[in-house]
A and B are shown apart, each in its own frame.
Chain A
């Protein structure tokens, strides 16, 4: 099977050399899958051209969840925009909050206190674990393995409970504010996180045992839909899928943000580039996330209580008790709530590493209290264009597994 990238957009049987079974050459059949299909991870519609059971061409159709977040954000103040950011990638929503806040903080020159940085890193990694757990659960479900789904969702529920405790919401946390956090951690929260990271490594081993050693899974996933490193970069693939192709690119290491350079962790890299490695690499990444959380918890305990927001009254709301004694605080409060702050004229982009790949907010400021233009470099959207490439020549039964292994979240694709 020749996979010439230049032929991605043509679909005739002759264009593809089906070397392994020339006698099976048949007429091209076009099959529509989705948008409402249980195994397309949201509302993704794909049209596949089949020759027998082999995929000649696959065309994704996206946009069913398009809600115009970018346009809406142009008409909301910088603080109000935090309502929109977690709603894009609803599985690793903390990463969107963080990426947006980092960009705006650069524009306004906010200084985030170390305690807030450590809390951000801890929660970001917790959220990454929850996202990878959904990836594993639903991904293996697409292979027909029902059990891992329930196991993975047990631990995910524990993480979501932690998030509900700290922010009041399970999915759309809105816990980050420009310059810091909404409020401090509840007392005893770190104790619960410690309990979680004590039991998590054993649980990760359990998940690994559930599928990694299974000969059925190995036969099914090894060597299927290989994306070589060269083509993965050419397709702008990022995240775990790129690292499974042998490219050591993790934004947390390459362009550190939020203090990631001060944590000790490895970037797992595999070289197969197939479905198997794309599944396994998430297991390895969860182990590294547990390490980072461990260090963040230790750091938070060493730091003790402290400020969690930039003290500048031009960016953060004044503390509640000041409103009763200080006229100035009331004025700042009023200005911030009714109008918001005004970053200087300019443009900014900060890359971050979400569970799906490179995520960043390109923000253009015109000096007003609302962003002039927000462009989300969402990893799912960019990664999804590898799908036609990755599915070429694959059996139609493996298509859902390929979709699962690229880990798109449709809210993040359509925005």
Chain B
């Protein structure tokens, strides 16, 4: 774990935040400096990019500097050349106003799909990626599904004579609150008439 110790010393000298928990180590690196840092690390034998994780901290209870965060997981691969098995998570915060990061595809070919997945799921653009397309979701799907403000997909239930129940509105009508997993937040049911009125309101509102 010599490489990890060296890297952490470097981070402390620069004043970057270090988090340690459950045997993993995180390092918070400014967005402007991380590409140069990773290019340097690759030269030093951090040869394997294990994963890239996108996180949306919109509803996170603990305040974070920016809404989005991209975590790069770097490993100095044990069993290859002088690799010693160090593993570090490099955290880069990305602001909502300009969700973009420099791409790592010129350093690691393996960053290709991982960056495309984050672009697909969170809408974070990777500048310099040669083929930045959606990868998992259908082409006609709008929005970025893993963002916290994207609703969990539900299909309106269609009944006879054109009557249908829009799940979100149905739950809103039941509880008066934003729908959660069941939508029930305590209190009594309002009854079907009110729900129907709610649904009509939603339908007429062009939603």
Instruction: Please give the residue numbers on chain A whose beta carbons come within 8 Å of chain B beta carbons, in ascending order.
Output: 5, 8-9, 62-63, 66, 68, 70-72, 75-76, 106-107, 229, 231, 233-237, 247-249, 254-255, 345-349, 351, 358, 360, 362, 364, 366-367, 372-373, 375, 377, 381-382, 384-385, 389, 414-415
Contacts and interface: CB of A to CB of B under 8 A. Distances in A.
Given A68-B153, A347-B26, A364 B55 contact: yes
Contact of B78 (A5, A72, A107, A254): A254
Contact of B138 (A63, A72, A362, A389): A63
Given A71-B146, A377-B51, A235 B80 contact: no
Contacts of A373: 55-56, 146
Interface string B34-64: 0000000000000111110111100111100
A389 B109 contact: yes
B77 A249 contact: yes
A71 B22 contact: no
B85 A254 contact: yes
Contact of A106 (B22, B109, B136): B22
B131 interface: yes
A255 B87 CA distance: 10
A233 B48 contact: yes
Contacts of B73: 349, 362, 377
Interface size class of B (residues with CB under 8 A): 35 or more
A372 B64 CA distance: 14
B15 interface: no
B110 A5 contact: no
B28 interface: no
A72 B152 CA distance: 7
B158 interface: no
B65 interface: no
B110 to A, nearest CB: 3
A384 B61 CA distance: 36
A375 B53 contact: yes
Contacts of A63: 134-138
The 9 nearest A-B residue pairs measured at CB? A236-B110, A248-B79, A63-B136, A66-B136, A377-B51, A375-B53, A385-B113, A106-B22, A9-B130
Nearest to B85: A254
B108 interface: yes
B89 A349 contact: yes
A235 B49 CA distance: 8
A375 to B, nearest CB: 4
Given A366-B59, A375-B53, A384-B113, 12 more contacts: A71-B153, A233-B48, A247-B79, A254-B79, A346-B22, A348-B21, A349-B51, A362-B51, A362-B73, A373-B55, A385-B109, A415-B136
B146 to A, nearest CB: 6
B13 interface: no
B21 A347 contact: yes
B78 A362 contact: no
B176 interface: no
Contacts of A66: 136-137
A409 to B, nearest CB: 15
